[in-house]
């Protein structure tokens, strides 16, 4: 366990200590919006990992989806700690998400045609979003968490898919399920179980609890 950092606050209205710096190892605009909405001051660094290779490796090794998501999140965080100019005491947040439906793993669609095919496959079925978040410090994992929100999609007509993809367009290509639950994607579902933030890609309640335990946030 690393020693707690000095209890200094960035400014009187902040819930976050001045030290250590927090780095978000993600190119996801949704994850960044979540942490900033929660009042966290983070620096964003894009991780240098090949997710497709790592996912194939996970399948070959027989990893369950939750373990694969955790592995990917850890690799992302560690890849940032190895970059030049990183404060060795920085707390690095890594995250990943895998969608699984009836045993099949889904990736972000490569184009709108692939998005349509994917949504047709998920239509009328229930899927799980295995959402992993980890924290790395001094190049070592200090915390990991996995959540598994469950979402049941209603049956989607061709007319609806035409309208939906016209409205969302390229936005669906940045989401593992080809939907943004915080946007028009909410129209796809009958029921949703789990933390809203975890569905968007980051288990925020668990992360904030860990940061308070580490005295990074005011308890």
| CATH code, 167 | 3.90.950.10
Q: What is the pLDDT of residue 13?
A: 53
| Residue 166 belongs to some domain of the structure | yes
- 168 φ, ψ (degrees, to nearest 5): -85, -35
Q: What is the pLDDT of residue 108?
A: 92
Q: What is the pLDDT of residue 82?
A: 79
* Catalytic residue flag (residue 67): no
Q: 160 lies in which domain range?
A: 22-213
Report how many domains make up the chain. 1
Beta strands per DSSP E along 90-209: 91-101, 104-106, 126-137, 140-147, 150-153, 189-193
Active-site residue, from 50, 87, 96, 215: 96
CB atoms within 10 A of CB 13: 7
Q: What is the pLDDT of residue 14?
A: 79
| Residue 14 belongs to some domain of the structure | no
Distances (CA, A) of 166 to 3, 112, 180, 200: 52, 10, 14, 22
Digits of tens for pLDDT over the chain (219 positions)? 434 444 333 444 578 888 889 999 998 899 999 999 999 999 999 998 888 899 999 999 999 999 999 999 999 999 998 788 888 889 999 999 999 999 999 989 999 999 999 999 999 999 999 999 999 998 899 999 999 999 999 999 999 999 999 999 999 999 999 999 999 999 999 999 999 999 999 999 999 999 999 999 988
What's the pTM value of the predicted model, to 2 decimals? Answer: 0.89
| Residue 7 belongs to some domain of the structure | no
Q: What is the pLDDT of residue 57?
A: 93
| Residue 6 belongs to some domain of the structure | no
């Amino acid at each position: 366990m690393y020693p707690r950092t000095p209890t200094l606050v960035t400014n009187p209205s902040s819930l976050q200590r001045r030290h250590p710096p927090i780095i978000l190892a993600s190119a996801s605009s949704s994850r960044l919006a979540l942490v900033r909405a929660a009042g966290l001051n983070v620096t964003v660094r894009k991780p240098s990992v090949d997710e497709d290779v790592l996912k194939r490796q996970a399948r070959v090794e027989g990893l369950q989806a939750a373990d694969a998501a955790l592995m990917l999140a850890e690799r992302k965080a560690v890849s940032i700690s190895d970059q030049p100019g990183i404060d060795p005491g920085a707390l690095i947040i890594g995250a990943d998400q895998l969608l699984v439906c009836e045993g099949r793993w889904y990736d972000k669609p490569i184009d709108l045609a692939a998005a349509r095919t994917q949504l047709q496959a998920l239509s009328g079925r229930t899927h799980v979003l295995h959402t992993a978040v980890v924290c790395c410090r001094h190049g070592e994992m200090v915390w990991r968490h996995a959540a598994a929100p469950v979402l049941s999609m209603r049956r989607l007509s061709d007319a609806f898919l035409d309208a939906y993809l016209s409205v969302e367009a390229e936005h669906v290509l940045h989401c593992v399920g080809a939907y943004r639950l915080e946007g028009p994607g909410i129209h796809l579902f009958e029921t949703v179980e789990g933390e809203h933030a975890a569905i968007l890609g980051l288990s925020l309640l668990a992360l904030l609890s860990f940061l308070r335990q580490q005295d990074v946030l005011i308890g």
